Structure 1
């Protein structure tokens, strides 16, 4: 068999894998959006480096948690879950420098504080931010928004 036929077969197999991966991403996105709306939500995994460490993804509200899924992953479970009771909105800002190329054009960067993880940075559209703030404020009755630790039970 000539070399060009081997190369053509290899290119065909590679193209088949790329198409299967793309189809898998589409099916996964449909399955994630099936039980409730998803929205574009970027998550910063390395906040120590200025403008770096952003991963594109999808957000989905699920009960008392905000689930974050990596965009180009086939894994069906969320990569990170942020609990509403342990999340405090700190502020928002526009993307700066390299972040403008890493994130979607209209997204804003928000900072949230968690007791165990410090500051978490997320990026979302202004409309999604309004929904996020509403979800965050709509906690169960009796929630003390000023507390930093869980109350002790006696």
Structure 2
């Protein structure tokens, strides 16, 4: 009986330490300032194509400049979204996963390589996968499609940051 109590207490302490580590990590990320809640979908799902139509495009192939990825179907529209924190750092946005212990960002988006294609409201299952009142921004970063979901306020700040690029930098904001 005493062994069971010791094991339960040890498991609870380990869980509390894990949650505390998440809180400390988030505080360290936000310490420098310039952070915002930002979900990301780094791999955009390929829509389901009925039999007889041409095969779907390879999702790992880069898109030609100025083209948008095909919209996700209702079957997989909510998949692939990961909660995260964006942090402005000079001429880039660092994106950290919320539920990770990694001290480094998962993705770094350079301002000069971001091309905004369009924005939209979450559709279908995306409404359940994202924070409420989120706006989805479809972008190309170095030729690779990426979708970011953030609040209207964060979106305004993000677009203003993109447009405030130093003279001579190419900026494409839709």
Q: Which deviates more, 8-17 or 18-27?
A: 8-17
**How big is the shift at 1:18?**
0.9
Distance 2:19 2:28 in 1: 14
User: Per-residue displacement from partner, 1:96-117 (whole Å, max 9, x unpaired)?
Assistant: 1111111101111110112332
> Quick check: 1:46–1:52 contact (8 Å CA) kept in 2?
no
The one of 121, 130, 150 aligned to 1:103: 130
Distance 2:5 2:43 in 1: 41
> Quick check: 2:94–2:109 contact (8 Å CA) kept in 1?
yes
**How big is the shift at 1:11?**
1.7
> Quick check: 1:114–1:120 contact (8 Å CA) kept in 2?
yes
Which residue matches 1:114?
141
Distance 1:137 1:20, change over 3 A: same
**How big is the shift at 1:25?**
1.1
Alignment partner of 1:43: what SS?
Answer: strand
Which residue matches 2:69?
none
Alignment partner of 1:55: what SS?
Answer: coil
> Quick check: 1:88–1:113 contact (8 Å CA) kept in 2?
yes
Structure with greater helix percent: 1
1:56 equivalent in alignment to 2:53: no
Distance 1:110 1:94 in 2: 9
Distance 2:159 2:170 in 1: 16
Distance 1:96 1:8 in 2: 48
TM-score, normalization by structure 2: 0.77
Which residue matches 2:3?
6
TM-score, normalization by structure 1: 0.86
Structure 1 moving runs of 4+ over 4 Å: none
Cα RMSD over matched residues? 1.4
Distance 1:87 1:19 in 2: 39
Distance 2:93 2:125 in 1: 26
The one of 84, 88, 99 aligned to 2:115: 88
